[in-house]
């Protein structure tokens, strides 16, 4: 069982990550940019001339790795861990190439009860090594299905405020976002090489008919849609983006991104797969500048 005190006190220490324009371009291709090579608005994300980084790339930079598996003394049942939510807050535009320093910590662990699992929030800050300035704050929310009931031994935090549902009524914008058939093969080169996303045998053993797309790739595709539909393709306007990951996507499927404008600077959104009518992102929020 998870050791609350030890896990809550966990810190990654500085993780230095030097990335290049090639890395930024590869990430952008993995989340669907450049499918139309004549689209000048998207070309800026996949061409080194005046390159712009996709804001959600902050989620994969300077990662501490799969520390839940390596730190066995924490007692986390990492086999039953599920990625539940993701957020990125930009304090300045993400550079197309830079050396960033990431520092991660466990910010919250909530006990949902015996047999109901626990929820862990992991926060990562990214600073630019060149000037020490804060670039982004990233939060990953993990559902620990095998770790409920730990609070009977002491510890536990209050739940985070519940994410708001989209407004009632039809969306203001609906965008169709096709994903590439080889999207997972591209996206895994940005850091997540879990064979579930590439090996049909591994996917079948996990209960899937074929390899699934990374949840963070679905999240990155939503960012692509928000930039196109709400920001005029200007990444500098996106201040934050958050969403709950609710169901897997198969590469080659089309995402339908539904957006509601909540004033000039906030957008609510969700996404579903067009072919199967399954919701894959929920409770989405983006703040614009």
- Residues designated catalytic: 192, 197, 212, 215
Residue 247's contacts (CB-CB under 8 Å, 6 or more residues apart) are 273, 278, 279, 280
Residue 82: which of 117, 129, 51 has the closest Cα?
Answer: 117
Helices 21-30 and 215-230 sit at what angle, rounded to 10 degrees? 90
Give the closest residue to 175 by CA, choosing from 67, 48, 276, 271: 271
Neighbours of 185 (CB within 10 A): 14
23 phi-psi bin (left φ>0, alpha ψ -120 to 50, beta other):
alpha
Cα dihedral 15→87→27→80 (10° resolution): 80
Give how far Cα 217 sits from Cα of 46, 159, 179, 230, 251, Å. 16, 27, 10, 19, 10
CA separation for the pair 179, 176 (Å, rounded): 10
CB contact set of 160 (below 8 Å; sequence gap of 6+): 108, 110, 121, 141
Residues 6 or more apart whose Cβ sits within 8 Å of residue 212: 184, 196, 197, 203, 248, 249, 250, 251
User: Where is 216: in which H helix or E strand?
Assistant: helix 215-230
Tokens of 50: 């005046």
Query: How many whole angstroms separate alpha carbon 271 and alpha carbon 220?
Result: 12
């Amino acid at each position: 069982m998870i050791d609350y005190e030890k896990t809550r006190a966990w810190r990654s220490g500085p993780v230095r990550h030097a990335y290049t324009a090639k890395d930024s371009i590869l990430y952008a291709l993995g989340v669907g940019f450049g499918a139309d090579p004549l689209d000048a608005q998207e070309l800026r994300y996949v061409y080194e001339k005046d390159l712009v980084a996709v804001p959600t790339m902050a989620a994969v930079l300077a990662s501490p790795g799969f520390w839940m598996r390596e730190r066995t003394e924490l007692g986390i049942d990492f086999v039953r861990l599920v990625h539940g939510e993701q957020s990125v807050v930009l304090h300045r535009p993400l550079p197309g190439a830079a050396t960033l320093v990431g520092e991660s910590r466990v910010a919250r662990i909530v006990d949902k009860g015996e047999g109901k699992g626990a929820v862990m929030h992991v926060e990562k800050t990214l600073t630019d090594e060149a000037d020490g300035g804060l670039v982004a704050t990233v939060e990953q929310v993990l559902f620990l299905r095998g770790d409920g009931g730990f609070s009977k031994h002491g510890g536990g935090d209050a739940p985070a405020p519940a994410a708001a549902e989209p407004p009632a009524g039809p969306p203001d914008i609906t965008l169709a976002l096709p994903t590439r058939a080889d999207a997972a093969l591209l996206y895994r080169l940005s850091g997540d090489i879990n064979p579930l996303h590439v090996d049909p045998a591994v996917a079948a053993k996990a209960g899937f008919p074929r390899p699934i797309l990374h949840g963070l790739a679905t999240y990155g595709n939503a960012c692509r849609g928000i930039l196109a539909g709400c920001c005029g393709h200007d990444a500098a306007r996106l201040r934050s983006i958050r969403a709950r990951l609710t169901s897997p996507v198969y590469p080659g499927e089309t995402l339908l991104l539904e957006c509601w404008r909540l004033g000039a600077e906030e957008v609510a959104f969700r996404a579903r797969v067009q072919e199967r009518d399954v919701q894959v992102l929920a409770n989405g929020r983006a703040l614009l500048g």
